[in-house]
Amino acid sequence: MGGRPDLLEQSLRSIQEKWQFAQVAAINDFADPRCDDVFKSIYPNGLLLSDGIKRGHHGAIDRLYAGIQTPYIFHTEDDWIFPEEISFGKIKKFLDANQKVTSYCLRNPAEFLQETERNKISAESAQDVDYYNLSHVHPEWYGYSFNPHLIKIEKIRDIGDFVQFKKERHVSVHMKKHGHFVAYATQSLCTHIGEGVSMANPNANKKKSKIRVWLRQQLNRIKAFVSKA
């Protein structure tokens, strides 16, 4: 977390209003005291790692996870809110019974997959949990994801240090090589509120948002032209 205290507050309050966890931990990798204040105001007894050292995303994850003592981790970031109820108990039993499942991701793939990719999804069910398996959608992705998810701590220990992987994609490839996959929710259990809001350069957000809008408009025009051809 860091650089977006307003989003962080929305995210933490959406969690704190619904659930009580045995341990709540966060790492501030941007040396941003505003985010420290937000976290401490909502979780005064939480574990806050904020030493001014910028470790990079994977290094920060390693530092954070090293102090986790619970058997499961509910991983999220500072730009997600959780308006829906989540059956954590049921998901824990699902993860316990399915060793090849990396984690249970709270996103619905319909939010990010292209229409042509959706026919490669496998709808599956186990331990009274419905989920989507995206193993055949892409050769590299969907073996691991940093999107909001529930994962067993032993799975994290099996992966090892995240700094050994350059990008999230490489973690995913590693997990897929071992036959693992992420189970995705069949209905979205989280909402992304950080679109176009950069942590590193907040002043670039408006410009990037305008560029994204323009690109979407051009893409939609191309799609419309192709569909009429």
What pLDDT score was predicted for residue 3?
A: 80
Find the mean pLDDT for residues 168-192: 97
Q: How confident is the model at residue 196 (pLDDT cuts 50, 70, 90)?
A: low
As given in the structure block, the two tokens for residue 78 are: 């500072």
Which one has a higher pLDDT value, 117 or 220?
A: 117
- Which pLDDT score, from 0 to 100, does residue 221 have? 47
Q: Is the pLDDT of residue 227 over 70?
A: no
Report the range of poorest mean pLDDT among 80-89, 102-111, 167-176, 191-200. 191-200
Single pTM value for the model: 0.84
Averaged pLDDT of the chain: 88
DSSP track, 50-70: --S----HHHHHHHHHTT--S
Per-residue pLDDT at 85: 94
Q: Please, where are the H alpha helices in the chain?
A: 5-16, 33-42, 57-65, 88-97, 153-159, 168-177, 205-228
Comparing 200 with 157, the larger pLDDT belongs to 157
Give me the residues paired with residue 132 across strands. 123, 184
Q: What are the backbone dihedrals phi and psi of residue 192, each rounded to the nearest 5 degrees, phi first? A: -85, 125
Q: pLDDT of 47-79, one tens digit each?
A: 999 988 889 999 999 999 999 999 999 999 999
Residue 216 has a pLDDT of 52
Q: What contacts 57, CB < 8 A, 6 or more positions away?
A: 29
- For 10, the 3-state DSSP assignment is helix
Q: Within 13 Å, how many C-alpha atoms sit on residue 50's CB side?
A: 19
Output the CA–CA distances (angstroms, integers) from residue 105 to 91, 94, 143, 215, in the order listed: 10, 12, 11, 28
Annotated domain spans of the chain = 84-188
131/111 Cα distance (integer angstroms)? 15
